[in-house]
Chain A
Amino acid sequence: MATATVGDERIARTSTVTKLMKRPEIGALAAAVVIFIFFAVTTDAFATASGASTWLRGASTIGIMAVAVALLMIGGEFDLSAGAITGFSGLVVGVLTTEYGLNIWAAILVSLVLCLAIGAINGILVMRTGLPSFIVTLGTFFVLQGIDLAGTKTLIGQVAIQGMSNVPFYDQAKKVFGSSLDINGSEPGGAIYASVFWWIGLTAVATWVLLRTRTGNWIFSVGGQQTAARQVGVPVFKTKVGLFMTTAGAGWLVGMLLLFTTSTVQSNTGVGQEFIYIICAVVGGCLMTGGYGSAIGAAFGALIYGMVNQGIVYSGWDNNWLKAFLGVMLLGAVLLNEWVRKRAETAR
C-alpha cells in the first residue's frame, strides 16, 4: 500500500512481494497452492468442476466458522462451543417448524436471537469472572451438546429433523441458504453452493473490519495487551462480548446453511468441529496467545481442510489420515507463527 508520508532514505523500496511475505496468511496461502497442485496432479477427479464443487462446499461451512473463530482468537479468546452451536441453531429451526408449525422465517429469527444470547452469555461470563474462555466455553459446549441430544429427543422423539422440506415457505429459505449455482452448463456436477458465497462474503467483511475499522484496531489491542487497551480507552468489555456474539452468529449462519442444503440436521451436528475451526485459524496465522492473525488466513486454512478432506477420498486412502494430516499442519503452523511473533517483537 502506498503511503503519503515522506519517503525515508533509510528504507529500501520494498516490493509488493516482500510486503506480501510479511502477511500472517502467507504460509496458509502457499500450503493451499501446494496441496491443490498435489491432488490435481495425483487424482483425476480433484481438479474437475464437480470435484471442486464438493471440496469448496466442505471448506465453506468450516471456513465461515474459522473466520469468526479467528477474529475471536485475535481478540485473545477461544470458543469451544462454536461447533455445538451450529447443530443447535439448525435444531431450533427444525423443531419449531416441523413440530410446532411456526413460520419458517420466525423460527430462523428465534434461532438467531438464541444463538446471539448464548454468545453474549459466553462473553459476559468470561469478562465478569476473569476465568479463561477455554473453561467457560467448554462448559457451554457440554450444555449445548446435552440440549441438542436430550432436548431434541424429548421434544420430537428422535435425534434428527425430518420432513423439513414440507414446511411452508421452505423454498424461500432454501433460496437464501441452500441453493446452488451451476457453472458447468450441461455437464453433471459443478454446482457452487450458497454457502460458498456466504463464506467469501464473510471473509471479505471480516478482513475489512479487522484492518480498516476502529473495531478491528480494538480487536487486535484487546488480544495483544488488554490492560494497555483499557488504559487508553478501548471498550474492552464491549469488544470481547461482541466477538463471542459474532462467533455464535456465525454458528447460527452455518446451522442454517447445513439445514437448508441437506434439509435435515442431526442432534450431534457440529460436535467435534470446534477444534477444526481453531486449527484452521492457527494454520491461517493466528497466534494462540492473541493479538495477531488474519481472517483471510483462516479462510485459506479452511480451504486446505476442505481440499485434503476430499483429496484423500479421491486418492483412495483411508479417510482417517485426515486427522494425522491436521495434527501435522497444526504443529507446523504453531511453530511458524511462534517464529514470526518472536521476529515481530524483537528489535531489528
Chain B
Amino acid sequence: MSKRTAASPVTIATEPPARGTTVIEVRDIGKRYGNIIALSDVSTSVRAGEVTCVLGDNGAGKSTFIKILSGAHEHTDGELVIDGEPTTLSSPRAALELGIATVYQDLAVVPLMPVWRNFFLGSELTRGFGPFKKLDVETMKRISKSELGAMGIDLRDVEQPIGTLSGGERQCVAIARAVYFGARVLILDEPTAALGVKQSGVVLKYIAKARERGLGVVFITHNPHHAYPVGDRFMLLRRGKSMGDFPKQQMTLEELTSMMAGGAELESLAHELEETMGSDSELAKSLKAEVQ
C-alpha cells in the first residue's frame, strides 16, 4: 500500500489503527431540518476491526445518519468525535480525507468499462511526464487483481466490463476500491438490499473480510438476519430515535429481530387481527406464534 503514487484526489497517509481503537464516536447526535427533527439522541461507536450495524425500517433515520457520517449533511445536535476530536464534516471530501469512505447502493461504477479501469477511475496511475504522461496499465491491472484477490474476489479477467459482474461482486469491487484508496472506515449503505440470498452471502463475506483487515465498518441494513452474523455492535433506529446501542454479547438474534419488528407493536397487531378475522385466522395465528 505504500506505493500509492497516483495523483489521487484523496490521499490518506495514515495506516489503519490498532484493532479495537475507537475511530468514530457518536454522542447524542441529532439533525434538524428547520422544525423537522429527522434524527435525535443517537449514540454509538465505530472501532477498527469491528462492524457496527445500523438497523431500522424505512424512514427510521438511517439515511440521515449516514449522511452525517459521510459528510453529506452536517449534524445540528450532539457531538461527532473522530480520532478523539470533536469534528463537523462539511463535505464528502472532508470525510474521505479522514479515511471515511461511503459505498452507496447505486454503486459508482461504469458498466461498460473494464474492471481495472473502474477500480482506478478518477485516481488513475500514470507513467512519464508532460504531454506524454500515459496510463500505467500493467500496474493498474496487477493491483486491481491482487486487491480484489485480497478481498476474496477471484476474477478471471480484470479486462472484462464491470457490467458482466453480478450485483454482489460489483458491490465488492466498490468496497475493495474504497479500501485500497485508504479508507479506515467503510460506510455501506444497504449493500444487500437489492441482492438475492446467495449474493447477500457474498457481500457479507466481504464485510467480514474488511473487518479482518482492520477496517471499521458501518453496515446499514433493515435485515437483522444479515446484520447479526457479521455485526459486533448493533444500533437500532426507529422514527428518528435510537432504541439503544448494544454489543453483540448483550443481544441474541431473536431479540434483535423482535426489536426490529417492534415486538410490542406486533403483539397488538396480532390481537387486532384476532378480533377482526377471528382467532382461527391463519394470519393471526402465525403472527401470534411469531411474537411469542
Known: A212-B134, A214-B126. A231 touches B163 (CB 8 A): no
Residues of A within 8 A of B158 (CB): 5
Known: A229-B122, A234-B122. A346 touches B157 (CB 8 A): no
Q: Complex: how many Å from CA A4 to CA B135?
A: 15
Q: Complex: how many Å from CA A216 to CA B135?
A: 9
Residues of A within 8 A of B141 (CB): 3-5
Contacts A5-B158, A217-B124, A291-B112 known; list 5 others, CB within 8 Å.
Answer: A213-B126, A214-B124, A225-B109, A232-B123, A233-B9
Q: Smallest distance from the beta carbon of B192 to chain A beta carbons, Å? A: 19
Q: A234 and B121: CB pair below 8 A?
A: yes
Q: Complex: how many Å from CA A132 to CA B156?
A: 38
Residues of A within 8 A of B106 (CB): 227
B291 proximal to A (CB < 8 A): no
Q: B135 and A214: CB pair below 8 A?
A: yes
Q: B109 and A213: CB pair below 8 A?
A: no
A-B contact pairs, 10 of them (CB 8 A): A5-B158, A8-B157, A217-B113, A220-B110, A233-B123, A291-B112, A344-B112, A344-B161, A344-B163, A345-B164
Q: A347 and B157: CB pair below 8 A?
A: no
Q: B157 and A11: CB pair below 8 A?
A: yes
Residues of A within 8 A of B164 (CB): 344-348
A292 proximal to B (CB < 8 A): yes
Q: Smallest distance from the beta carbon of B149 to chain A beta carbons, Å? A: 10
Known: A233-B123, A341-B112. A347 touches B166 (CB 8 A): yes
Encode contact with A along B5-38: 1 for CB under 8 Å, 0 otherwise.
Answer: 0000110000000000000000000000000000
B137 proximal to A (CB < 8 A): yes
Q: List which B168-194 residues lie within 8 A (CB) of chain A.
A: none
- Which of A10, A214, A232 meets B156, CB within 8 Å? A10
Q: Smallest distance from the beta carbon of B152 to chain A beta carbons, Å? A: 16
B160 proximal to A (CB < 8 A): yes
B133 proximal to A (CB < 8 A): yes
Q: Complex: how many Å from CA A156 to CA B224?
A: 79
- Which of B10, B112, B120, B156 meets A224, CB within 8 Å? B112
Encode contact with B along A222-249: 1 for CB under 8 Å, 0 otherwise.
Answer: 0011011101111000000000000000
Question: Total A-B pairs in contact (CB under 8 Å)?
Answer: 97
* Chain B interface (Cβ < 8 Å from any Cβ of A): 9-10, 104, 106-113, 117, 120-124, 126, 133-135, 137-139, 141-142, 145, 156-158, 160-161, 163-166
Residues of A within 8 A of B108 (CB): 225, 227-229, 231-232
Interface size on A (CB < 8 Å)? 32
Q: Smallest distance from the beta carbon of B168 to chain A beta carbons, Å? A: 12
A294 proximal to B (CB < 8 A): no
Closest to A224 in B: B110
Known: A10-B156, A11-B156. A345 touches B161 (CB 8 A): yes
Q: Identify the 7 closest CB pairs spanning chains A and B, nearest first.
A: A233-B122, A224-B110, A232-B122, A231-B108, A345-B163, A228-B108, A225-B110
Q: Smallest distance from the beta carbon of B173 to chain A beta carbons, Å? A: 12
Known: A3-B141, A4-B142, A345-B163. A229 touches B134 (CB 8 A): no
A152 proximal to B (CB < 8 A): no
Residues of B within 8 A of A214 (CB): 124, 126, 133, 135
Residues of A within 8 A of B121 (CB): 217, 221, 228-229, 232, 234
Q: Complex: how many Å from CA A72 to CA B123?
A: 22
Q: B113 and A220: CB pair below 8 A?
A: yes
Residue of B122, B123, B124, B135 with most chain A CB atoms under a 10 A cut-off:
B122
Closest to A225 in B: B110
Q: Smallest distance from the beta carbon of B36 to chain A beta carbons, Å? A: 27
Residue of A216, A232, A341, A345 with most chain B CB atoms under a 10 A cut-off:
A232
Q: Complex: how many Å from CA A224 to CA B142?
A: 24
Q: Smallest distance from the beta carbon of A282 to chain B beta carbons, Å? A: 16
Closest to A291 in B: B112
Residues of A within 8 A of B9 (CB): 233
Q: Complex: how many Å from CA A214 to CA B124?
A: 6
Q: A224 and B160: CB pair below 8 A?
A: no
Q: A348 and B160: CB pair below 8 A?
A: yes
Residues of A within 8 A of B112 (CB): 220, 224, 291-292, 341, 344-345
Q: Smallest distance from the beta carbon of A226 to chain B beta carbons, Å? A: 9
Residues of B within 8 A of A341 (CB): 112
Known: A212-B137, A228-B109, A345-B161. A217 touches B10 (CB 8 A): no
Q: Complex: how many Å from CA A108 to CA B138?
A: 42
Q: Complex: how many Å from CA A110 to CA B160?
A: 46
Closest to A1 in B: B137
Q: B157 and A228: CB pair below 8 A?
A: no
Q: Complex: how many Å from CA A131 to CA B135?
A: 33
Q: Smallest distance from the beta carbon of B188 to chain A beta carbons, Å? A: 15
Q: Smallest distance from the beta carbon of A221 to chain B beta carbons, Å? A: 5
Encode contact with B along A87-117: 1 for CB under 8 Å, 0 otherwise.
Answer: 0000000000000000000000000000000
Residue of A208, A224, A347 with most chain B CB atoms under a 10 A cut-off:
A224
- Which of A3, A10, A291 meets B110, CB within 8 Å? A291
Known: A228-B108, A232-B108. A347 touches B135 (CB 8 A): no
Q: Complex: how many Å from CA A213 to CA B136?
A: 9
Encode contact with B along A320-348: 1 for CB under 8 Å, 0 otherwise.
Answer: 00000000000000000000010011111
Closest to B145 in A: A5
Known: A8-B157, A231-B108, A232-B108. A217 touches B117 (CB 8 A): yes
Q: Smallest distance from the beta carbon of A283 to chain B beta carbons, Å? A: 19
